């Protein structure tokens, strides 16, 4: 039993497990919490999509369809091993399953009872990963995708201090389901268990770069300073109609930079010493200097 991970914690857990993670649209607020409870969480459920192509599969799992509104899972695992986050909260993936199975998952029992009842709300208790595969028994499961399934399930288990016995397939939960088809959940659980014996491998994705240059501090802007940030700032000042350059802009902080920046401050409504041409955080953030 556990409280569901926050969006930030889920994202960090997946990245720390060495996965390439893509945040799809407003996944952080995409859920079915208005239709029922989310949590306590007890495990991870693996599915196949019965679709092909990463983008159509991700779009479908985010939006759902008229008979089954999205999100249809929390993350979509593509054939290239990338994980696309589409939901955070209650998602339409598990449906009604067997209470005996839920008890076995909670106890992390070694064997699962047959799933011969549909009497328990699984969407409340399971994280769901939809894996892109036609589910026809012929569509291949690339090694990169199987590795990503192993990593994603391990990431959630590690975050909750669960073992691999908290990971089940949809076919082990709900009568009549066959997914995932093409590998056994027993083999996948054994891979997850081995992975959990060692620490997480750490992130492979570089931390996302901010779109704009962060404010470098007022002391940055002094005579003798030479930096591509000064050039980028000057170009933005020119674009805003505030350029007071005879030549340039260039990397060396100059009187022309100062008077150009003062024009920008006046344009924003600053007056007096607040429009002295020395950048401050508020005016800098509004200038949106591109990352250099």
Interface residues with Zn ion (CB under 5 A)?
Answer: 47, 170, 179
Nearer to Zn ion, 20 or 74 (CB): 74
Beta-sheet pairing, 43-48 with 126-131: parallel
Residue 191 neighbours by CB under 8 Å, 6+ apart: 146, 150
85 and 23 Cβ atoms separated by less than 8 Å? yes
**Smallest separation, CB 250 to Zn ion (Å):** 59
- Judged by beta carbon, residue 47 or residue 125, the one nearer Zn ion is 47
**Least distance from Zn ion to the Cβ atom of residue 169, Å:** 8
Minimum distance, C-beta of residue 170 to Zn ion, in the bound complex (Å): 3
Angle made by CA atoms 165, 81, 64, in degrees to the nearest 5: 80
Nearer to Zn ion, 24 or 47 (CB): 47
In angstroms, give the least distance from the CB of 179 to Zn ion. Answer: 4
Separation in Å, CA 252 to CA 51, 228, 233, 235, 249:
55, 9, 11, 13, 9
Handedness of CA 144, 158, 182, 93 (dihedral sign): negative
Nearer to Zn ion, 173 or 221 (CB): 173
Helix (H) or strand (E) holding 229: helix 228-239
């Amino acid at each position: 039993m556990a409280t569901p991970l926050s969006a930030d914690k889920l994202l960090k857990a997946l990245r720390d497990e060495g996965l390439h993670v893509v945040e799809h649209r407003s996944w952080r607020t995409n859920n079915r919490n208005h239709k029922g409870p989310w949590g306590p969480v007890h495990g991870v459920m693996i599915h196949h999509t019965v679709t092909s192509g990463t983008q159509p599969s991700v779009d479908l799992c985010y939006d759902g369809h008229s008979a089954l509104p999205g999100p249809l899972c929390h993350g979509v695992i593509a054939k290239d091993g990338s994980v696309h986050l589409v939901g955070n909260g209650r998602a339409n993936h598990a449906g009604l399953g067997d209470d005996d199975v839920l008890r076995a998952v909670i106890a992390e029992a070694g064997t699962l009872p047959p799933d011969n009842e549909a009497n328990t709300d699984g969407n409340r208790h399971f994280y769901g990963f939809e894996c892109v595969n036609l589910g026809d028994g012929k569509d291949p499961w690339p090694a990169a995708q199987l590795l990503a399934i192993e990593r994603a399930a391990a990431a959630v288990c590690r975050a909750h201090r669960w073992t691999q016995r908290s990971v089940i397939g949809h076919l082990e939960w709900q009568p009549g389901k066959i997914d995932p088809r093409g590998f056994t959940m027993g083999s996948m659980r054994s891979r997850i268990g081995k992975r959990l014996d060692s620490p997480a491998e750490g992130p492979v994705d570089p931390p996302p770069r901010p779109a704009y240059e962060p404010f470098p501090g007022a002391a940055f802007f002094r005579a003798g300073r030479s930096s591509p940030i000064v050039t980028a700032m000057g170009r933005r000042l020119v674009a805003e109609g505030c350029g007071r350059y005879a030549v340039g802009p260039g990397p060396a902080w100059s009187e022309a930079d100062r008077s150009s920046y003062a024009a920008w401050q006046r344009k924003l409504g600053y007056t007096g010493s607040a429009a002295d041409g020395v950048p401050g955080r508020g005016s800098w953030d509004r200038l949106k200097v591109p990352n250099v």
